[in-house]
Each structure stands twice: as C-alpha cells, then as structure tokens.
A and B are shown apart, each in its own frame.
Chain A
Amino acid sequence: GAVVSQHPSRVICKSGTSVKIECRSLDFQATTMFWYRQFPKQSLMLMATSNEGSKATYEQGVEKDKFLINHASLTLSTLTVTSAHPEDSSFYICSARHPSRAFFGQGTRLTVV
C-alpha cells in the first residue's frame, strides 16, 4: 500500500516559537493533502486542505496565520505552527488519498511548554 511519512513524531517547544511538521507521500504523488488535529480520546478535526502549487483551504475557525501550510511539491506538505502556545499542544496528523483510501502519517505529538 501507499506510504505517508510524517516527521517529527514528537516535538516539545517553548511558548512563542514556531514548529514545522513535514508530511511526505513516499511512493505516490499527492496533489492534495489533509491536515487534522486530534484531541485526546476525540475524533479527527480537519484543519485544512493542502493543494500543491496553490493556497491551502482552511476550515472554518482555523487561523491561517497561525497554521501555515506549504505544499511545494507533489510529495511534500508542511504545517508550521507559528508563535505556539500551550493551547496548541495536540496531536497533528496528515493524510493523502490514493486513490480512494486515505493514507495517514504517523502523527506528531506537539507539546508547547
């Protein structure tokens, strides 16, 4: 099956700093990738749809300037959490469809201290 790789798996950062999370499709091209946020024991909340070569589409209530998404190639999308605060601590997951199934990265546990 297709593989989506996400890095880092865990990151701890200081409040006010920025953190970049990478999502790569290893054996297929993904013009679209999806970024989710998941709180403990809850479902996935779609944050944004990342589109290769164009601007990301953000879901209602998600701050574009807070969560910067760049999809510069057909195999790489990045999510940057800018000026992180403790309330941004969460589990972030990316995925890409190929072709009908969604393949997910391993997730990134972000802790802001």
Chain B
Amino acid sequence: SQQGEEDPQALSIQEGENATMNCSYKTSINNLQWYRQNSGRGLVHLILIRSNEREKHSGRLRVTLDTSKKSSSLLITASRAADTASYFCATDPFTGANSKLTFGKGITLSVRP
C-alpha cells in the first residue's frame, strides 16, 4: 500500500529556481528517504533522514522531517535542466536489509532551460 503522498504531483520551474516537494505519511517510521527516477530507469537514492533528525543537507539538496506532522520536504536549490525527473519519498519502518520501503506516488519535476 502507498503510504507516502507527495505534493505537488507535478512541478515545472525555470532553471536556477528552487524546487520544493512535500511528502506526508501515516505510520511511524525509522527513517525517510528520497529517491529520484529518470524516465525508464531504476531509482537512485538521494538522501536519508532519520526520525530523530529534523534537517539534513547534501549538496544542493535539503530535506526536512517533522515527525509530529508526519511530513517531509525536499528542496533542490539552483535547479538545473538535468534535475528533470520523478522524485519519490519512501518511508522505512525499521532499518535493515529486509525492511520494506513504502513509496509515495511521486512528483514529476520539469526544469526548463
């Protein structure tokens, strides 16, 4: 079942602008992860934030987590045309090799050159 719900479902911005994507979830988590998928390809891990963390940075990515609201946001700063892809949040009930991630519906980001 899909737990994560991202919004907006689609986002179109100009190169150089920032892109903010939101994710809400329903159950308790150990961590939340964001992934990116280029059309017709597998997913690539972007960033992981644990339930006891509130904010994390990685390059042009900034992710926040509010466990009281069961929500997370992913900010991509200074977007590039190459950032065009689908982005998914995934919730992890516990960490480990056999833990099942539950993916949201995804956000389609288009960055116009």
Contacts and interface: CB of A to CB of B under 8 A. Distances in A.
Interface stretch (B14-22, B56-64, B72-80, B102-110): B102-110
Interface residues of B, number: 27
Contacts of A99: 95-97
Contacts of A100: 31, 33, 48, 92, 95
A101 B45 contact: yes
A95 B88 CA distance: 15
Contact of A42 (B35, B95, B105): B105
Interface string A78-113: 000000000000010101111111111111010000
Nearest to B30: A100
- Chief secondary structure at chain A's binding surface: strand
A42 B95 CA distance: 25
A46 interface: yes
Interface of A: 1, 4, 6, 30-32, 34, 41-44, 46, 49, 51, 91, 93, 95-107, 109
